[in-house]
Structure formats: structure tokens, C-alpha cells
Structure 1
Amino acid sequence: MHLSVREDVFPIAGRFTIARGSKTEAHVIYAELRDQGRTGHGESVPYARYGESIVQALADIEQVRPRIEGGLSFSDLHDLLPAGAARNAIDCALWDLNAKLTGIPAWKTAGLRRLDPLKTAYTLSLDTPEAMGAQAAANARRPLLKLKIGGPDDIDRVEAVRQHAPKARLIVDGNEGLSFDDLTRLAPDLKALGVQLIEQPLKVSEDEQLLGYTSPVALCADESLHTRMDLDRCARLYSCVNIKLDKTGGLTEALALKAEAQAAGLGIMVGCMVATSLSMAPAMLVAQGADFVDLDGPLLLARDREHGLEITGSILHPPAPELWG
């Protein structure tokens, strides 16, 4: 087996802003595994919030190149690399390569009965209330909008979005930007505005304050949840979890995490970083039947990969084999 791995850069349509900052490009890792004349593809996004970088992730993969090229199972890879972007790129490439070698689609290998189209959320970048209202107006027909907020005084941004998109379901993503007092003050107002989910309102280091708190809007763990190791703790604090392949370290762990989270009675959200269709394709397997799907990465880009997902409005169609799986 031969491994190729590199950094790819894709321009974002405009500027993407969250509480931690802005960016105009998506920097991703692209991994390619070739064996017996077949090629498997994988993509991931190292995230600075988790201490990751493109340079370090590529170095981590290079360090274990001999083991990868010597052939390995999904469980071998789990032991070889920690959860995160480096492992995600290789894990997804292995899934794709296996599909190409066996002729069995990845969704069948994952135990699914079929792979259905999905309705994804569309993310509104953090901006002034007027600008976010304009974004909402331009996307008012989308069934689910996700708002990035940056602090305790952002209720006016949510109000502007609701005014310009009165029929859309709303998710608010705090990206760890609120205090517990902020949350308890804002949650009733967010409920009144029809917000259905609040993602990661508090810093991971502070979210134990959620223990015993009954929020009028469902709370979803994002930064607090990476793998199954975090699940017991999150189940005490949140009613929903956001599963991202870049956090779990690939599709293999993501599927296992989803199964255990559902068994624990938690709601399921499947999310993404800003990335191309190649990152979304494997996540679509995890997102089958999820309560909230947030796989809008390609919709935020000015240019996608070749053979990218067919997207009709907010509907993601299953990937072509040329892309993945």
C-alpha cells in the first residue's frame, strides 16, 4: 500500500467568522491510499482549538508511514494515532479504499440499510445584527439555520435572524463564548425566539456548572465531546452531542460513538469543520437518522473538490463513488 498526504487550500465564499476569529480559506489535509490499482481518499481539518496544526498533523502521519504502508486494520490505526485530524484523514481513506477493493459501498460495511439524502443546516457567520439579518433573508427558505454568536449581548443578532427567516428552525452555537449566568439569562429569550438547540455555550473547563440545570432549550456538547471516553461526562451535562469526524479521529470511532450516545438517550447532531465534500461524504453515514445535521462545509466554499456532493438547496445527495465510499 502506498500513502500520499498533503495540504490543500480552498477559498471560502467571503469570510467565515465565529467567536474565536475569522478566516477566508479552508486548510485541509488530503490523504490518498493506493493498493492493487485502487485508490482511497480522505480529508481532515486540524483545529487550533484542540492544539492541532497542518504541520503537526502531517508530521504525525509521516512518523507512522511505514506502519500504514505495511497494511493495517481500523483497530490498528486506532492504536497507532490519537483521536484527531491526522487519524481522521487516514481512517476515511481506509474506508474508501476498502470500498474500492471489495466493491461493497462504505454504507453497507457500516451496517446501514441504505444511504439517504440529508437536509443540512446552513451556518450564518458572526457579524452585525444587520448583516446577519441580511444573511438570514438570503437563506430564509432553508429549513435549518445555525447562528454563530460571540457573547452575552447577541440576542439582537438572533432576533434579526428570526425576523428575516421566520419559518426556519434555528440552532445557536456559542463556541464556548458564554458564562453560566449569560446562559441562564439568555436561554428563555432564545426559547421564545424558537431556537431549538444551543451548542457548547460554556467553556469546556466551566461546563460542570450545567450539572442540575434544566435549560428551556436543549444543550449540545461540541468542544466537550471528542470520543466515547467523554460520553459519560457529557451525558450528565447535556441532552445532545455533536459528533465530528475530526474530533473522533475518523468514521470508525464516530459510528461507535453515535451508537453509544443513542443508547444513553442523547440526541445526535453530526457536524463538520469548514471543508470540502470529501469531508462531508463519510460524515453522511453517521448523520443518517440524526436529530440535527450540520454538514454545510461545501456550501461555505467558493470552490469544492472535483466530483463534489450534489447539493440541491440544503439537501445533500449521497456521494458518487469517484468522491468517496
Structure 2
Amino acid sequence: MRNLIARIERWETARPFVISRGSKSHVDVVVAEIREDGRLGRGEGTPIYYKGDTPELALAAIESQAGAIAAGAGRADLLDLMPPGAARNAIDSALWDLEAKVRGERAWALAGLPQPQPMLTAYTISLGDPGTMAAAAKEAAGRELLKLKLGGEGDLDRVAAVRRAAPDARLIADANESWEHIDIEKICHDLHALRVELVEQPLPAGRDAGLLHVKSPVPLCADESLHSRAELGELIGRYRFLNVKLDKCGGLTEALALIHAARQRGLGVMTGCMLSTSLGIAPAFVASMQAGFADLDGPLLLAKDRPHGLMFNGSDVCPPEVELWG
């Protein structure tokens, strides 16, 4: 019989992590563990705070499924038993990990994907004044892809400062819903001149209709507006890319289905992450194997990581070792 247990863990950040909605000095994650016949499957989720989720609510949601897991509920069953979110992600990831151990295969093989190679990941520069962001970009010299957290007024100056500090880096901009009072078409043309390759979530979720007539030379990417396949249809024509995060969509199982549906509709895919340890990033790595952009730097932003954490080689993140997950 399968036994499900869960807990909340707190992990400190290496430095304040700042976006348009505020600053973080730590992240609280939920960890699900499923034991069966001496084998252990693990999964981690980070509650989406802007959706009203908390570690306590996520923990209670995981614990509520102990009976179903003991009775044999699998990954497909979770899609009906639980809504999208960190709790389902943690259980789904633990089930993937357990199945990989039971079958003696890696998780990507279970997903029908080939043996992975190291993958380019973005590295996040927190929101700050232009000088602070430029200094952080200079400190990250050598990283190929930088993701810049923006906040509204003064964003063009921020990006220009980073471009001067990191003239050879590829850049992604993440507005985090902060451009409601900004001329999006104009700033996107200016950002295109600074060689920005992607702009995430310019408007607040639910107000995406404001993008219907925006002619941007830089592809726009939905983040907060997209959680699972349920929102996909209404984003068509407003975005050219989707940011798929396992904590939003509720696990690797839904993420793979969402990526497939997006690609069928001609949309590009970025896979992202919340602040998390390598245990939270490992299943996202599998999803990222089918994405055009990957933002899997969560563990790099923490003061320390788990044992057997992901190895980062320059700008690349390496596939997870079996001791970590999958």
C-alpha cells in the first residue's frame, strides 16, 4: 500500500528576490513523499501566493489525498481529484519519481522523450534601479540568457543599463503585470532595438484583451494569465508564447499535455519556475525538453540547495541525477 506524507520547508534566498509585487528573503515549499514497497517518490511545490495559495493550504490539500493515494490513485486520477496548483504538483512529481524507481527508467523515458543533454536556462536579475540591475548583470557575466524583472515606470532605462553592462547577453523581460499604464507597443519597439527576445505578462491577468491590437516586434508571453489548458483558448491572438510552470498547472502530467496543446495551436513555449530547490526544478526540466525557452534557475537564487541538487555548468542546467528525482 502507498503511504503519503507531506511537510512544509523554508529555504532562504541568497539575496532579496525583488519583482513588481514585492521582495522575498525566503521561500516556503511543500514536499510530498510517497512510499511503496521500500521505494520513495518525492515531489516539491511552491504555492502561488498571488492566487491566494499558502503553504498551509497546500499542505492540507496534499494530506487530504492520502486515502486516494493509498487506494492506488495515479497521475491521471489527480487531474480530477485536485485543482491545478502546488499541492497537485508535489503529489504528481512524487508519483513520477516513484514510477521511475519502480520501473527502473528515467522520468523522461516514461514521458516518451529521449535522453536529455544540458539545457540553456535563463538567469534572473531582480527588479531594481538601473544601476543596481546593471551591476547584477555585470556580476552574472558569462551567463548567456538573462531574465530581467521589470516594474513599470523606468523599465526602458533598466533594460538599457543592463544591455550596456552585458552587451553580448540574450535578454528576456518580465513585466509581471506592471504595464497597465504604459504604451506597450512603443516600449516593445524600443526593447526590440535593445535585442530583447521575449516580454512576459505586460498586463494584469484577466485584462489580456488589451493586447489584441498591439503590434509588437517582440513576442509576448502569457505567464500569470495561464495556469492550465482551461485558459488556453482565450489567449489565442493575444500572446505568441506561453510560460508553463508546474506549480501553476499542477504538475508534469498537465504540463506535458498543455505544451502539446499549445504547440498544436502554433504557440511557442517557455517553461518557468517559482523560487524552489532542485527537487522542484527536476520535473520542470523534463517539460523544458519541449520548450523554446527555459527559466529553471530557482536553486541558483537560494542560499543553499538540497543534497544531490542540479548541476549548473555555466549557462546550462544538467539533467537531474537519479539520487535527486526521476
TM over 0.5: yes
SS of residue paired to 2:183: helix
CA distance in 1, matches of 2:153, 2:185: 10
Task: State the TM-score, normalizing by the size of structure 2.
Answer: 0.98
Deviation at 1:180, TM superposition (A): 6.1
State how far apart, in whole Å, the 2-side matches of 1:250 and 1:188 are.
35
- State how far apart, in whole Å, the 2-side matches of 1:259 and 1:289 are: 9
The match for 1:171 is 172
Which residue identity does 2:151 align to in structure 1? Answer: G
Aligned partner of residue 261 in structure 2, secondary structure? helix
Q: Which amino acid aligns with 2:186?
A: R
* Greater Cα offset, 249-258 or 209-218: 209-218
CA contact (8 A) 2:199 2:218 kept: yes
Indicate the SS of the match to 2:206: helix
Shift of 1:240: 0.3
Q: Hey, what does 1:258 align to over in structure 2?
A: 259
Moved over 3 A (4+): none
1:160 corresponds to:
161
1:22 corresponds in structure 2 to: 23
Q: CA deviation at 1:263?
A: 1.0
Asked whether the 8 Å contact 1:116–1:288 carries over to 2, the reply is no
Alpha-carbon deviation of 1:212? 3.1
For 1:191-206, list aligned pairs within 5 A: 191-206=192-207
Deviations 1:27-65 (A, max 9, x none): 111111000110001000001111100011111122222
Correspondences of 1:27-42 after superposition (within 5 Å): 27-42=28-43
Please say if residues 152 and 182 of structure 1, whose CA atoms lie closer than 8 Å, have aligned partners that are also in contact: no
Q: Which amino acid aligns with 2:96?
A: W
Determine if contact 1:152/1:186 at 8 Å carries over to the other structure. Answer: no
Q: CA RMSD in A?
A: 1.0
User: One-letter code of the match for 1:136?
Assistant: A
Where does 1:216-231 land on structure 2 (aligned, <5 Å)?
Answer: 216-231=217-232
Q: Offset at 1:25?
A: 0.6
Q: Quote the Cα distance in structure 1 between the aligned partners of 2:166 and 2:272.
A: 22
User: Following the alignment from structure 1 to structure 2, what is the Cα–Cα distance between the partners of residues 223 and 67?
Assistant: 30
How many Å apart are 1:183 and its aligned residue? 1.3
**In structure 1, what is the equivalent of residue 277 of structure 2?**
276
C-alpha distance in structure 2 between counterparts of 1:111 and 1:104, whole Å: 11
The 2-side partners of 1:168 and 1:310 are apart by 21
Number of aligned residue pairs? 325
Report the equivalent of 2:140: 139
Q: In the alignment, is residue 246 of structure 1 matched against residue 247 of structure 2?
A: yes
For 1:170-224, what per-residue CA distance to the aligned partner results, in whole angstroms no more than 9, with x for missing partners? 0000000012643123111111111110000001122111113221111000011
TM-score normalised by length of structure 1: 0.98
1:92 aligns with 2:93: yes
CA contact (8 A) 1:180 1:202 kept: no
Query: Does residue 10 of structure 2 align to residue 2 of structure 1?
Result: no
AA partner of residue 139 (structure 2): A
Separation in 2, partners of 1:287, 1:187: 26
Say whether residues 1:301 and 2:281 are aligned partners. Answer: no
For residue 290 of structure 1, what is the aligned residue in structure 2?
A: 291
Who is 1:65 aligned against?
A: 66
Cross-structure match for 1:315 = 316
Task: Give identity over the alignment, percent.
Answer: 52
Partner of 2:53: 52
8 Å contact from structure 1 (residues 151, 177) kept in 2: yes
Unaligned runs of 5+ in 2: none
* 1:125 aligned partner: 126
- Per mean C-alpha deviation after superposition, the further-off stretch among 281-290 and 141-150 is 281-290
Partner of residue 215, structure 1: 216
SS of residue in 1 equivalent to 2:237: helix
Equivalent position SS for 1:236: coil
Determine whether 1:102 maps to 2:106: no
Deviation at 1:312, TM superposition (A): 1.1
Cα deviations by residue, 1:59-87 (Å, 9 ceiling, x for unpaired): 11222221122221212111111001110
